Amino acid sequence: MTDNWFKTALLMAAIVALFGVVGGMLGGRTGMLLALLFGGAMNVWAWWFSDQAVLRMYNAQQVDARSAPELYQMVQELAHNAGLPMPRVYVIDEPQPNAFATGRDPEHAAVAATTGIMQMLDYRELRGVMAHELTHVRNRDTLISTISASVAGAISALANFGLFFGGSRDERPNPILAILVAILAPLAASLIQMAISRAREFDADAGGAEISGDPQALAMALQKIEHYARGLPMPTAEHHPETAQMMIINPLTGADIGRLFSTHPATEERVARLMQMARGVR
């Protein structure tokens, strides 16, 4: 887990450094400041309100101890194990097996599971999945993803600003260089952002195994979800692909793309790490 935090810190430093380089080359000091303010304002708003927006987007229905006793009590037990406040619990009427966590901090967190994942997994496996999602809450991964998205968005805005307006007369870059940077800088920022997302998934797997005390159950759940999710499209995720990184498994069809462009690590590698943990436990 420490290695993944170190990797996340390096990637965060890399994306901030990229912003500085692009800002200096394209927008100058003024353009860099404007882009950072613009990107920061948009993503602070997203961090504060995105939980409700995403839950509405997926038509998630809040449940309690009466309407979904098994799921609610499961989350309650795991939250206690993790030392977290009880999050709100939601169910999404979707056949694709998947789950996610959202919320700006542990006091305003929510976890959601699809009907598909609740029907497909047994109690142990679903417990492992919900422990994974609660680890995202405990690790404040929504904050990390918001910061990386903020800087990545600012880089894209800065690239466009620099391409069309440039800095002051003395700061304007070579036009060909400006075009190349405007194309490549947002791509590089997205790749770094995706790498951060992948590192956080490994940590959530490890934390989920720790909270549930059952790494093998989470490994089995990931294998099942990966197998069935490929053949069951999730229309909301297809229309809003920016939400894909929130899910425990990439919900997008045709998601078999190069690892650099993936928001999730390879399931085989996640399973192998969990099984290594399971052997260590036993």
- State pLDDT tens for residues 90-117: 999 999 999 999 888 899 999 999 999 9
- pLDDT higher than threshold 70 for residue 1: no
CA distance 125 to 106: 23
In the structure, what pLDDT confidence band is assigned to residue 19 with cuts at 50, 70 and 90? low
Inter-residue contact 78 to 105 (CB < 8 Å): no
In the structure, what pLDDT confidence band is assigned to residue 3 with cuts at 50, 70 and 90? low
Using CB atoms within 10 A of its CB, is residue 175 exposed (0-12), middle (13-18) or buried (19+)? exposed
3-state secondary structure of 68: coil
CA dihedral 35, 39, 42, 45 (to 10 degrees): -130
3-state secondary structure of 98: coil
- pLDDT higher than threshold 70 for residue 282: no
Q: Which residue has the tokens 């590089």?
A: 188
Please tell me which residue, 59 or 45, carries the higher pLDDT value: 59
Mean pLDDT of the chain: 81
Q: Which residue has the tokens 């929510």?
A: 110
Residue type, 137: V
Percent of the chain scoring above 70 in pLDDT? 65
Residues in the chain: 282
- pLDDT higher than threshold 60 for residue 77: yes
133 is catalytic: yes
- pLDDT higher than threshold 70 for residue 46: no
Tokens representing residue 39 in the block: 């990107």
Of 25-34, 64-73, 150-159, 166-175, minimum mean pLDDT range: 166-175
CA distance 112 to 114: 7
User: Residue 240, Cβ neighbours under 10 Å: how many?
Assistant: 14
What lies within 8 Å, CB to CB, of 269 at 6+ separation is: none
Q: Catalytic pick from 94, 125, 133, 226?
A: 133
Q: What is the pLDDT of residue 23?
A: 62
